[in-house]
Structure 1
Amino acid sequence: MSTVNVFVISPDVHAEKRYDLHTTIAQLKSKLELVTGIPARSQVLTVHRTDDDDQPLATLSEDDRPLGYYSVVSGQFIKVQDTNPSASMSGRFTDVSQVEKFELTKEEYEKRQDTVKAYKEKHKMGRFAPKSEETAAPSADDIASQMPIGSRCEVVADNGVTKHRGTIRFVGETEFGNKTGVWIGVEYDDHYGKNDGSVEGKRYFTCPPNKGAFVRPKRVTVGDFPPEELNLDDEDEEL
């Protein structure tokens, strides 16, 4: 395959992009300038396995080298760092350090009648609802009946926008960390996962490395989701 789908991350951008592996790093920086607003001359590009991985797999430092030289594959993350923020718009839409904040003391907040808390209290919602009206959390069996193992599904990513397709391989409670409750084990169609179905030495299901993930049921939609086919004609389409 001569193209890859990667995630581009900068102070203001988190987007999925498609690039030709024959694109030189200099050409890639020019494309990323339009996406991130960071001038090509100020960019430092690093490749990562996940968005929170601090250890880069590679630094795209040679402008005349093609993207494929660095063994970039679909599902990886390209982080764009700005070496000269003062010369670009980078970070200006997310930096709120200079914004004057409106603050209330707890006592002042409690007295106001135009707050979310006052609305919920008036209409007996949330923690103000009568105990008899509280709805118990669905059990693992309830969720499993709605999301059977083997079902095709679509999962909303951490950014709340990107969606990935796969197959449900596990439904139930787990033993990793202090994260209680029901989890859905998904085998993604592509390498968007973080494991092979096992976490902290315990196996919940089996799949190829970096295709497995555990997500909460609210992020999963079951349906007729066939494996996606890439549209290679639209190189820079943001998904």
Structure 2
Amino acid sequence: MTGVVNVFVVSPDTHSERRIDPHITVEQLKGKLELITGIPVSHQALSLLASQQDSRVLTELTDESKPLGFYGLADWQVIKVTDTNPSDTLTGQLTDVSQVEKFEISEAEYAQRNDTVLAYKQRNKIGRFSGKEEAKQEDQSEMNVDVPIGSRCEVESTEPGLSKRGTVRFVGPTKFSKGLWVGVEYDEPLGKNDGSVQGERYFSCRQNYGVFVKPDKVKVGDFPVEELDLDDEEM
């Protein structure tokens, strides 16, 4: 497809990079966005933001009969999808925690429990509760991870619906912290650096596309760049 633009689509539950034909109408786009965001077409309010770093609202996509090009859609802008009726949407109900009572426990109470991760680590001498020899063995086993440089991967994310995909660019020890680290070049500017940390370069990429994570946060596999297919024959 020619003439497409690369944009980011964000909603309360999703965040992804998409390729969109500026000739389609706002109405047609909403139909596709329902499959991505889970928000019904009738509940969608679309805003066009300048970029991920600049959250200024350039315009509201209010006329569903207009093509996206009418609103000046350009590369790396952000289409923000707002759910105007989250109480009636499944995704909104799942993420609305305003009515959930918050459970809190003090550090002292947590330390006294025997059914916690902390207690498990103490019983099994894991992490900071292990001796020097055990710690050395853990570091050695970490060095044996199978994360090939150049392979496609997905990095574990704490944000629901956020796919953090990229390419492995570095695997090895670093100067900024002990142990083995994996350097990833993200497909989207979701990183923290350009492949260098504290003046030491480990690989090169665009600013905010690079990140270093521990091997257990990386899943290697066939993870292509996510695209939004908007061929006319699928309308």
Give yes or no for TM over 0.5.
yes
For residue 96 of structure 2, give the secondary structure of its aligned residue in structure 1: coil
Q: What letter corresponds to residue 151 of structure 2 in structure 1?
A: C
How far apart in 2 are the matches of 1:198 and 1:123? 36
> Which is worse superposed, 214-223 or 107-116?
214-223
Could you say which residue in structure 1 is the equivalent of 2:150?
A: 152
Q: How does 1:164-175 map to 2 (within 5 A)?
A: 164-166=165-167, 168=169
How far 1:43 sits from its partner (Å)? 0.8
Q: CA 1:62/1:220 → structure 2, altered by over 3 Å: closer, same or farther?
A: same
How far apart in 1 are the matches of 2:86 and 2:219? 40
Q: What's the CA shift string for 1:188-230, capped at 9, x where partnerless?
A: 6x66577994889x795666x569524336366789x899797
User: How much identity, in percent, do the aligned residues show?
Assistant: 36
Larger helix proportion of the pair: 2
How far apart in 2 are the matches of 1:229 and 1:42? 22
Could you say which residue in structure 2 is the equivalent of 1:49?
A: 51
How far 1:8 sits from its partner (Å)? 2.7
Number of equivalenced pairs:
220
How far 1:60 sits from its partner (Å)? 4.7
Q: What's the CA shift string for 1:96-138, capped at 9, x where partnerless?
A: 2311234434443333222222222111112211233213897
**Is the contact between residue 21 and residue 66 of structure 1 (CA under 8 Å) also seen in structure 2?**
yes
How far apart in 2 are the matches of 1:155 and 1:54? 28
Could you say which residue in structure 2 is the equivalent of 1:92?
A: 93
Could you say which residue in structure 2 is the equivalent of 1:118?
A: 119
Q: How does 1:49-88 map to 2 (within 5 A)?
A: 49-50=51-52, 53-56=53-56, 58-63=58-63, 64-69=65-70, 70-73=72-75, 77-86=78-87, 88=89
For residue 92 of structure 1, give the secondary structure of its aligned residue in structure 2: helix
* Unmatched tracts of structure 2, length 5 or more: none
TM-score after normalising by structure 1: 0.60
Q: What letter corresponds to residue 81 of structure 2 in structure 1?
A: V
**Is the contact between residue 169 and residue 185 of structure 2 (CA under 8 Å) also seen in structure 1?**
yes
For residue 152 of structure 1, give the secondary structure of its aligned residue in structure 2: coil
Q: CA 1:115/1:211 → structure 2, altered by over 3 Å: closer, same or farther?
A: closer
Q: Does 1:24 align with 2:25?
A: yes
Q: CA 1:231/1:14 → structure 2, altered by over 3 Å: closer, same or farther?
A: closer
How far 1:27 sits from its partner (Å)? 1.9
How far apart in 2 are the matches of 1:77 and 1:100? 34
Could you say which residue in structure 2 is the equivalent of 1:213?
A: 210
How far apart in 2 are the matches of 1:229 and 1:164? 9
For residue 92 of structure 2, give the secondary structure of its aligned residue in structure 1: coil
How far apart in 2 are the matches of 1:226 and 1:44? 28
How far 1:24 sits from its partner (Å)? 0.9
**Is the contact between residue 19 and residue 227 of structure 2 (CA under 8 Å) also seen in structure 1?**
no
TM-score after normalising by structure 2: 0.61
Q: CA 1:46/1:203 → structure 2, altered by over 3 Å: closer, same or farther?
A: farther
Q: What letter corresponds to residue 210 of structure 2 in structure 1?
A: A
* Unmatched tracts of structure 1, length 5 or more: none
How far apart in 1 are the matches of 2:183 and 2:116? 39
**Is the contact between residue 7 and residue 79 of structure 2 (CA under 8 Å) also seen in structure 1?**
yes
